[in-house]
Amino acid sequence: MNILLTGASGFVGRNLGMALTTAGHVVRPVSRRHGVDLTKMLSPTDWLAQLDGIDAVINAVGIIGETRGQRFDVLHTLAPTALFRACEQVGVRRVVQISALGADDTAFSAYHLSKRAADEALLRLDVDGFVVRPSLIYGRGGTSAALFLRVSALPLIPVLEVGQQRLQPVHISDVVATVLRALDGPLPQRTIDVVGPQTFTFADWMQTLRVAQGLPQGRLLPVPHRLALKMCRLGQVLTPLAAPDNVRMLRKGYLADSRVIERFLGRPLLRPEPYLQFEDAAILWRNT
């Protein structure tokens, strides 16, 4: 198939691109690095040339915090919705949207709400839309994965409150496998939560990442919620990752039943054994 892949230069997009090419597909990459800025792709007509000869579309564009030129509503909702409508217009049937765990009825953050708006827009159209909602993804080359690795290696590991927030980190290979599985054949459902097989507290996840780096168990530095929010408001100047909403989302914690994605893939999910942290998805994907 000829596949248009937005977000092709990102963590998820790069891994998808490798796996798609290995599987014999031809990928048309879209990102600013590939010369396409989504902030300028807000109408279906903007996408028509990109869709010429395309059989399926994967949207893997996203940001975790806003800057002046990079807004959630533009990148997560307006541009993808224009792309999805263009797909409907020209008859590209299969469209896979990478959303996020928590972009559902419980959403409160601008991140999740903007994702949910695009998911809903896609599912309203006359295309075979499929929404993939991953939890925290780990694997080599991920920005947040790398940040968590660095934080876990600190002599004192800062954790929100006492680090009891729950999460189900999922390996990039399982996200890639889900998208590939969603590209052809009948779909048993239209939305799927892609979570890892184990639930960790944030504190336990930090210790697991330390073990993966050959470090002994570390000491935790509990940070009260209010202080964390204040620090984020200041830190936002340095990195959009420090958005206070990201603390609120971490605090809420998002979980899903991992048996659903296991049934979808028809195989067990990868367990976060230490060696997995540093593998490329393409290598693992070929072996699973």
Ligand X SMILES: NC(=O)c1ccc[n+]([C@@H]2O[C@H](COP(=O)([O-])OP(=O)(O)OC[C@H]3O[C@@H](n4cnc5c(N)ncnc54)[C@H](OP(=O)(O)O)[C@@H]3O)[C@@H](O)[C@H]2O)c1
Question: One symbol per residue from 20 to 59: x for binding ligand X (CB under 6 A), - otherwise; what is it?
Answer: -----------xxx--xxxx--------------------
Q: Which stretch binds ligand X (CB under 6 A): 7-15, 47-55, 217-225, 250-258?
A: 7-15
**Do residues 246 and 65 lie in contact, with contact meaning Cβ atoms separated by under 8 Å?**
yes
List the structure tokens of 171.
């390996």
Q: Is 17 in the site for ligand X (CB under 6 A)?
A: no
Q: Measured between alpha carbons, how far is 97 from 119 in angstroms, rounded to an integer? A: 7
The amino acid that residue 113 corresponds to is L
Query: Residue 172 CB, nearest distance to ligand X (Å)?
Result: 8
Q: Is 65 in the site for ligand X (CB under 6 A)?
A: no
Distance, C-alpha 277 to centroid of its chain: 16
Phi first, then psi, for residue 27 (nearest 5°) are -105, 130
Q: Tell which one of 142, 163, 196, 197 touches ligand X (CB under 6 A).
A: 142
Number of shown-chain residues binding ligand X (CB under 6 A): 28
Query: Residue 226 CB, nearest distance to ligand X (Å)?
Result: 26
Binding to ligand X (CB under 6 A) within 244-283 occurs at: none
Residue among 230 and 271 whose Cβ is closer to ligand X: 271
Query: Residue 196 CB, nearest distance to ligand X (Å)?
Result: 11
Three-state secondary structure call for residue 130: strand
Structure-token match 């200041």, residue found: 234
Residue among 222 and 244 whose Cβ is closer to ligand X: 244
Q: Is 236 in the site for ligand X (CB under 6 A)?
A: no
Segment 88-91 long-range contacts (CB within 8 Å, at least 24 positions apart): 88/125, 88/126, 88/127, 89/44, 89/48, 90/48, 90/51
Binding to ligand X (CB under 6 A) within 165-184 occurs at: none
Q: Measured between alpha carbons, how far is 13 from 1 in angstroms, rounded to an integer? A: 17
1 CB-contact burial (10 Å; exposed 0-12 / middle 13-18 / buried 19+): middle
Residue among 14 and 25 whose Cβ is closer to ligand X: 14
Q: Is 60 in the site for ligand X (CB under 6 A)?
A: yes
Which stretches of the chain bind ligand X, using CB under 6 A? 7-13, 31-33, 36-39, 60-63, 70, 75, 98, 100, 134, 136-137, 142-144
